[in-house]
Structure 1
Amino acid sequence: MLRINVVTLFPEWFAAPLSSSILGRAAKAGLVQYRVVQLRDYTHDKHQTVDDAPYGGGAGMVLKPEPSFEAVEDLNAKPPIVLLSARGRPFSDFVLSGGEPAALCVVDAVVRLLPRALGDHESASSDSHYDGLLAPPSYTRPPSYRGLDVPDVLLSGDHDEIAAWRAAQAERLTRERRPDIWLKHGE
């Protein structure tokens, strides 16, 4: 069983996502166990102070080391341990108001890859990035809606042609939308 520990100032932020949909079903099936820890429980003053002004001045606050270190040490977790931080590898070129949305993204991305977490594990293997490319477009019924038509090849029943079309679309979309990924794919 995978154990995921989250240390946060906002444990309530995780209640619904970790008990719903794929993440919730995975926990109910015994595939993963979540432990959400309140960082303020590791403070040593009556105000439960977890942050302070930065040395050298400047805007904002910085998390104090004591509660963070003590909370992680108290988890008694076995490696590997993944710690997210504002100084770590960025998700993209945007700033979040806290680490909670980023942590939930990581939890979701990991848990959905656990065997039996998805109703159909093939779903994960056809996702964007699974094989180094963006996923091809997907279509469902009806075959035509407001002038938008499902490509004929997908209606043909020819599985080899469909596979070739999907591969070509994945390559096209990756080249157009993520040339950085396309360059790595070609290496």
Structure 2
Amino acid sequence: MSNPSDTPAPQPAAPAARSHGRKSISATLRPRVLMGEAPRLARVWTARIITLFPEAFPGVLGESLTGKALKEEAWALETIDLRPYGIGKHKNVDDTPAGGGAGMVIRADVLGPAIDEALARAKGRTRLIYLSPRGRRFDQAMARDWAAGGGVTLICGRFEGIDERVIEEYRIEEVSLGDFVLTGGEIAAQAMLDATVRLLPGVLGNAESIEDESHSAGLLEHPQYTRPAEWKGRAIPPVLMSGHHGKIAQWRLATAEDITRQRRPDMWADYQNRED
């Protein structure tokens, strides 16, 4: 825990960002690591991550199609290290819960300035999200909504969470990866960004593949097959080898409906209501 003498004096706001072509340059009152930091791109969909573990990024997002798109500047990734905003010589970011209890809570006077920097960097419409197990569950519709904007700022919590006053002050959306608890938000952030970035124009390179996959039409995806035509006595369904595109489409829809009805009754009910 820190004492009042550890609290730094208020500082003036950093100058606003300036845009030079696609490169975006902004001044900051806190020093940044210059070597190895990619320049920010103006007008590019950008994910900003507030985290105690910036070295965890890009992680898997730097691989495969999302990694290729990142290198080609189809999207941008920025991390904001929460530790430099910590209080006192030990840069404390958390304190004990008001009212008692186990664990620690991230301080409002630590997280607030980090959010201010993230918002100062943002260009266009962006979402401010706290990755929280009590939030609305992330789904494909949310990924499409995020992809349609200018980017997202994701707050990766730790310990017992963050001071509620920060959520109220910034009107932060709370989003959950699922009905379980992780040790922090970094894994959830990478999963949500993977689902979102792949929807950005040109990342997958084949818009039809997005339209046919699970959840895109409110159904789980139909089964997929490829060569060889027979494997361990199991043959590809004959209709898929027929070349009749109309019958193939009917088979895929029927199997997708069967799988959804059996495995996700909740999705099936929503699908039927939408069809009605």
- Structure 2: how far apart are the matches of 1:129 and 1:82? 24
CA contact (8 A) 1:84 1:103 kept: no
For residue 108 of structure 1, report the CA deviation from its aligned partner. 0.8
Cα distance in 1 between the residues matched to 2:79 and 2:102: 29
**2:75 matched to 1:28?**
no
Q: Distance in 1 between matches of 2:96 and 2:262?
A: 44
Higher helix share: 1
- SS of structure 2 residue aligned to 1:6: strand
How much does 1:25 deviate? 1.3
Distance 1:139 1:16 in 2: 30
* Identical amino acids, percent of aligned pairs: 45
Following superposition, the deviation at residue 17 of structure 1 comes to 2.2
Looking at structure 2, the residues matched to 65 and 159 of structure 1 have their Cα atoms a distance apart, in angstroms, of 58
Q: More strand per residue: 1 or 2?
A: 2
Q: Distance in 1 between matches of 2:46 and 2:65?
A: 16
1:154 maps to 240
C-alpha RMSD over aligned residues? 1.6
Offset from partner CA, 1:119-175 (integer Å, 9 cap, x none): 322221211111111111111111221232211111111111110010011111111
Cα shift at 1:81: 1.7
Shift of residue 179 of structure 1? Answer: 0.9
TM-score by length of 2: 0.64
Taking the aligned partners of 2:267 and 2:128, their CA distance within structure 1 comes to: 24
What SS is found at the alignment partner of 2:58?
helix
Q: How far has the Cα of 1:18 moved from its partner? A: 3.1
Q: Which residue number corresponds to residue 12 of structure 1? A: 55
Q: Distance in 1 between matches of 2:87 and 2:98?
A: 21
Structure 2: how far apart are the matches of 1:97 and 1:169?
38
Q: What aligned pairs does 1:1-187 form with structure 2 within 5 A after superposition?
A: 1-75=44-118, 76=120, 77-78=122-123, 79-86=125-132, 87-89=134-136, 90-187=176-273
Offset, 1:19: 2.1
How far does residue 5 in structure 1 lie from its aligned partner after superposition? 0.3
The 3-state SS of whatever aligns with 1:88 is strand
What TM-score, normalized by structure 1, do the two folds share? 0.92
Q: Find the aligned partners of 2:203 and 2:94 in 1 and give their Cα distance.
A: 37
Give structure 1 regions of 4+ aligned residues with deviation exceeding 6 angstroms.
none
Unaligned runs of 5+ in 2: 1-43, 137-175
CA contact (8 A) 2:87 2:93 kept: no
What residue ranges of structure 1 are gaps of 5+ in the alignment? none
Task: Answer whether contact 1:153 1:161 (CA < 8 A) is retained.
Answer: yes
SS for the counterpart of 1:24 is helix
Q: Which stretch shows the higher mean deviation, 40-49 or 30-39?
A: 40-49
Whole-Å Cα distance in 2 between the matches of residues 167 and 175 of structure 1? 12
SS in 2 for 1:180: helix
Q: State the secondary structure of the residue aligned to 1:84.
A: strand
CA contact 2:48–2:80 (8 Å) conserved in 1 = yes
Report how many aligned residue pairs link the two structures.
187
CA contact (8 A) 1:133 1:182 kept: yes
Q: Which residue identity lines up with residue 107 of structure 2 in the other structure?
A: K
